[in-house]
Structure 1
Amino acid sequence: MKIAIFGQFYHKNSDVPVEVLLRHLLKKNADIHIERDFFDLIHSEIEDDQKYNVFKTFDTLDATFDLLISIGGDGTILRAVTFVKDLGIPIVGINAGRLGFLATIPKEYIEKAIDDILNGNYKISERSLLTITTSPENENIKKMNFALNEIAVSRKDTTSMITVETYLNDEYLTSYWSDGLIISTPTGSTGYSLSCGGPVITPDTNSLTLTPIAPHNLNARPLVITDSTEIKLKVSGRENNYLVSLDSRIATINNDTILTVRKADFTIKMIELLDESFLNTLRKKLLWGEDKRN
């Protein structure tokens, strides 16, 4: 298999996973390609570093790659998604971070997980994304206009609320007086949206969630809508600008800008091992069922 490897950091939580992964992949005669910046972080710490292919940026990724392995937390996978884009390369995450809803392989099971993947003992979970356009056009957003977890608008340079005028398929919904608004995919329902009181949604659900951030409308609640809905937002406030975040990427937008958010026309393929599932992940990560009566 032709395998790309990506990480953002190299610290005490990731040194052993990196060494175990690379050693096992070499043992399996995999064609290994390490992202340049990550290679620069680890090459002095690994054995036989000349055995690995290195590429300067993920612009050289193409459909010939069979797999991308992310080493880190969920944030590292979200970054990796910007490299894979619409190439259809499956992604799997080794969890060297903290909670890890996307990076689900524990450090203790790397070798077994890799063997299962190389032997085809896995399934693909297709994850929907969001895409955004702006009027007038914003160059920063245009370069990378999609998100796996969520697209959110929030206040900037002020402690005052903003007003987010919201339309669904051109029909007025409401105006949220709040610190902002999160539009979340099912994948992102366990991220920022969850922290703001949004519901947990299974990844295969054809839905999106609108979750207000600290709303001053006491009757404002998260809303689940079909993912075929086109969402338009008009933001106003005491300042002239506000922030738009696409997962971890942030842009400053003028108040007179209209945002249009819809489901992207491609998906991200996440590898799910046969002994793992989203429900199992919920029980482990959120401690569901941790009750002495169970």
Structure 2
Amino acid sequence: MSHILIDDQDLSRVTYNGTWIRGGSALEHESTVASSTVVGDSFTVDFNGTSIVVYGTIDVTSEGVITSYAVDSALPAQITSQGGPGDTFNQQFWKSPTLSVGEHTLKVQMLKVNPDPTPGEGTIWFDYFLATDPTIRSTTTTNPTAVEPFIIGTTEDDSEARTPSRTLHSHSELISLTRSKTFHERPQPQSSATGSSSTTSNVATPEALNDTIVAGKRQATTTCWQPVSTGNANPLVTGAPENPEPVQHVDSGVRTISSQVIDSPARPVAVELPPVYSPV
């Protein structure tokens, strides 16, 4: 059994509809998250497997935000978010029931957001999705050069490890957002030499990743907060011990939005050349 991690910015699998804002910090996967403060905005995630789990970040303004989750033609499940005194990472927003083996589509829609005078607040931040595929038993990975979901936990004994995604492509109306906080640089994972391949024995273990992430965290100045009903933090991503308290930093409550819009790559334009005449 394998787990496939799909980042919020893997636009080969995630399709946004509406006005979605891109933000992020060093303690979020690939330092990116996606959010919307517009009721009715939605996105879909295409995945292969028998289940999918949605993870993200909440803060004090997330209290009472309502979202719906549905796979394929199933009835949507409505989830009401909790809030905390500061940003709380790696929170499980929703987990699907067991599905048939094969391709599926998850749809997530914003049903209620909180009015807030600060742009970008009053919502929740989607970070990544974890799909379970029982058909994958082992894999060989190379340095990624194209958009692909990364497989974690692909050893024969089903032990779980993490290979972070490095996918980022332009799509839909995503606006660059920078939070007004200071973070340490996120430690980069070790990679093999260009062109070489490695088996899952070279994939970083959760314990090793935990040591790397903890080394890069700045010390929190407030007590960590455990949400009531948003679910457990994902142990596959940070290598946290059993029943961990989520990492939290002081939230200034201020985020600024720049006007930078991520455009799709420009398509090449065909150039029409004048005709060439040969002498008779």
Name the TM tier (shorter chain).
Answer: under 0.3
The TM-score, its normalising length taken from structure 2, stands at 0.26
Choose between structure 1 and 2: higher helix proportion. Answer: 1
